[in-house]
Amino acid sequence: MAAPQQQFQQPIGQLLIAKGVISEDQLRIATQEQSKSPQPLGRLLVRLGFLSEATIRDVLSENLGQETVDLATVIVDSAAVTLIPKEVARRYQLVPISVDTASKNLTLAISDPDNIIAL
């Protein structure tokens, strides 16, 4: 099975402008700041207060065709938690969310959904 590839249809700054979550001026300010202090553009936009982490997460996940979850609002199924050893969950930065024993499906939240080793 081939690994999923993260390919943006357009640069992240232009995507955020197209979605209406930042302005061209905000992108210009962030890219100027980025030239002084090399950091990911998304992190700079959040640090500058132009958007929230949740907003950038939602826009990027939509662009990649992936579902997002806000762990602060999720009720984790205790049966799912018992299926993944704590050390494994920490190493691969994943959280078991739910388990469907009938279909044998385990739903995970993971920080890097392209990490095929973790999956």
Whole domain around residue 53: which residue ranges?
A: 12-64
Task: Judge if pTM exceeds 0.75.
Answer: no
Sign of the CA dihedral with 10 first, then 12, 14, and 17 last: positive
33, part of any domain: yes
Query: Are residues 73 and 53 part of one domain?
Result: no
Query: Are residues 47 and 31 part of one domain?
Result: yes
Query: Are residues 96 and 81 part of one domain?
Result: yes
41, part of any domain: yes
6, part of any domain: no
CA atoms within 13 A on the CB side of 49: 0
The number of domains in the chain is 2
Query: Are residues 55 and 84 part of one domain?
Result: no
1, part of any domain: no
pLDDT along the chain (119 residues), means of 10: 48 93 96 91 94 90 85 91 94 93 91 76
The pLDDT score that the predictor gives to residue 6 is 47
